[in-house]
Chain A
Amino acid sequence: GIQVEQSPPDLILQEGANSTLRCNFSDSVNNLQWFHQNPWGQLINLFYIPSGTKQNGRLSATTVATERYSLLYISSSQTTDSGVYFCAVPSTSGTYKYIFGTGTRLKVLA
């Protein structure tokens, strides 16, 4: 089945710094989502981004489906950005279930 890897696995930033998180997937996909899981366990939908670039405030995402990767940019990071970031893509089984990436754990220090 499709493999989804994220890098880096862990990231520590000073407040105000910028970062780029990467999601690589091993097969063609027709959609992709980015999520933020906050320290309380809530899974927050950041972007639905099958291709192209989207921006929402300090966050933006780019998916290059032909090259099988997506990037999540966080600018001017804040302590509230801490948590785990996941990307998810549909499995190749054709039944729409998501395969989640391995996650990037981000800690932003004040």
Chain B
Amino acid sequence: GEEVAQTPKHLVRGEGQKAKLYCAPIKGHSYVFWYQQVLKNEFKFLISFQNENVFDETGMPKERFSAKCLPNSPCSLEIQATKLEDSAVYFCASSPDGGVEQFFGPGTRLTVL
């Protein structure tokens, strides 16, 4: 598609439950990025992929967060055992190559109760 698609738009989980977010990058784009926005103004990089390979995972909390980008499937970001502090908007972005314009999806708002 011509836009980055993210599902679901909203996700509500009880503390300790699992959350799984999906991202379909723009067709032909080889890089995918995940960012977390907390407190409305603060963006944090989580992880990036070059095709199905992890490119940079320096922002990922190792214990509970995992992500995948498999061929012919949407990319996914999974949080095991969610905590209150995971409440945030999660944005996915894709780019046709490294170091060029990133195209952002509409985000998934995760609320952990």
Please indicate whether A and B come from the same complex rather than being unrelated chains. Answer: yes
Instruction: Please determine whether A35 and B41 come into contact, CB atoms closer than 8 angstroms.
Output: no
> Does more than half of chain B's interface fall in helix, strand or loop, or is it mixed?
strand
Question: Which residues of B are found within 8 Å of A86, using beta-carbon distances?
Answer: 43
Instruction: Please determine whether A97 and B48 come into contact, CB atoms closer than 8 angstroms.
Output: yes
Instruction: Please determine whether B101 and A98 come into contact, CB atoms closer than 8 angstroms.
Output: no
Instruction: Please determine whether A33 and B102 come into contact, CB atoms closer than 8 angstroms.
Output: yes
Interface size grouping (class) on chain B = 20 to 34
Interface size grouping (class) on chain A = 20 to 34
Question: Which residues of A are found within 8 Å of B59, using beta-carbon distances?
Answer: 97
Per the 8 Å Cβ criterion, residues 66-110 of A in contact with B are: 84, 86, 88, 90-91, 93, 95-100, 102-103, 105
Decide if A45 is an interface residue (CB 8 Å cutoff): yes
Instruction: Please determine whether B107 and A97 come into contact, CB atoms closer than 8 angstroms.
Output: no
Instruction: Please determine whether B41 and A97 come into contact, CB atoms closer than 8 angstroms.
Output: no
Instruction: Please determine whether A100 and B43 come into contact, CB atoms closer than 8 angstroms.
Output: yes
Set A30, A41, A98, A99: member contacting B102, Cβ < 8 A: A98
Number of A-B contacts (CB under 8 A): 62
Nearest A residue (CB) for B33: A97
Complex CA distance for A31 and B98, rounded to whole angstroms:
11
Select the residue from A48, A84, A86, A97 with max chain B CB neighbours within 10 A: A97
Question: Which residues of B are found within 8 Å of A48, using beta-carbon distances?
Answer: 100-101
Complex CA distance for A96 and B56, rounded to whole angstroms:
9
Known contacts A31-B100, A41-B107, A102-B41; A96/B95 CB under 8 A:
yes
A contacts, CB < 8 Å to B: 30-31, 33, 35, 41-43, 45, 48, 84, 86, 88, 90-91, 93, 95-100, 102-103, 105
